[in-house]
Amino acid sequence: MPLQGKIAIVTGGLSGIGHAIAKRMVSEGARVIAADITSDEKSLSDRELAEFHVDVSDPRSVERLVDAVVQLHRRIDCVVNSAGIAKETPFLDTPIETFDQIIAVNLRGTFIVGQTTARAMRDHGIGGSIVNIASISGLVGNAGRTAYGASKGGVITLTQVMSVDLARFNIRVNAVAPGPVDTPLVEQRHKDARRGQWTELVPMRRYGRAEEIAAVAVFLSSDDASYVTGHVLVADGGLVSFIFYASPTPEKQGQHSDLRA
């Protein structure tokens, strides 16, 4: 098992992609702390999959999490920053409060958790892996995702900077950029017509599964990716490639029909 004996923290680990990652890490041998704002647990139990309450946008809350993990397990080997929120609002209608809230959780939270856990990894001299969950919305413009797209674009750049600054401590930092993925939140928001539109755009003609994103996060967290850092791994069924290379004009659409097959 690639994560045998590893100590891992997964923020947002009680729902959606984060929960899938936490469960997959356990199945691959890790002891996992699912750190989530929805958890009521304020003390850390020594279970294969434990819960802990954290607000990733609050440095003191994150420090309590890291202190609890280090006190119990003596080290942190893997971190996955999966905590995030989203709201789709046209640019001109996006309230400043909404923009600030999404940036605070998605970008500021990734920074705070990444910095605090990296300091623990450095101080214990063992190195480690940090995986940030970004999005294809951080790579290409997407209508209505002013704050979300900005936050995930920031996560991608932050990942690259972290990878350079932390390499000398043997800390690898990578990002996963998922496309449309079936999670409870997406199922609520993407109803029949909208779901059909997204499915039509994805060359693989389906949404991803949270378990598929979890498999990518586990690979990047494992020693199998020991020479991989600063990388953004896109897991989107080919959607970004289609957006970049397929012509939107009807007269040229046939030239790219193979991308839609």
Q: Which helix (H) or strand (E) holds 49?
A: strand 49-53
Q: Considering all CA atoms of the chain, what is the largest pairwise distance in Å, rounded to the nearest integer?
A: 64
Contact predicate 1/223, CB 8 Å: no
Per-residue pLDDT of the chain (261 residues; tens, 9 = 90+): 999 999 999 999 999 999 999 999 999 999 999 999 999 999 999 999 999 999 999 999 999 999 999 999 999 999 999 999 999 899 999 999 999 999 999 999 999 999 999 999 999 999 999 999 999 999 998 888 999 999 999 999 999 999 999 999 999 999 999 999 988 776 666 666 677 887 888 999 998 999 999 999 999 999 999 999 999 999 999 999 887 766 454 444 443 333 322
Cross-strand partners of 66: none
245 assigned to active site: no
**Where on the phi/psi map is residue 22: left (φ > 0), alpha (ψ -120 to 50), or beta?**
alpha
Q: Which residues contact 88 (CB under 8 A, 6 or more apart)?
A: 144, 145, 148, 189
Q: In a 3-state reduction of DSSP, which class is residue 78? A: strand
Sheet containing 78-81: give its strands across: 49-53, 31-36, 7-11, 78-81, 128-133, 171-178, 232-235
pLDDT at 95: 97
Report pTM: 0.91
pLDDT at 143: 83
pLDDT at 115: 98
pLDDT at 215: 98
Contact predicate 81/110, CB 8 Å: yes
Assigned token pair, 28: 């691959």
**CATH tag, 7-259:** 3.40.50.720
Of the chain, the end-to-end C-alpha distance in Å amounts to 36
Domain ranges of the chain: 7-259
- Torsion sign, CA atoms 55, 59, 64, 65: positive
Q: How many Å is the Cα radius of gyration of the chain?
A: 19
pLDDT at 188: 63
Contact predicate 30/102, CB 8 Å: no
Contact predicate 11/80, CB 8 Å: yes
Select which of 148, 207, 227, 245 is catalytic.
148
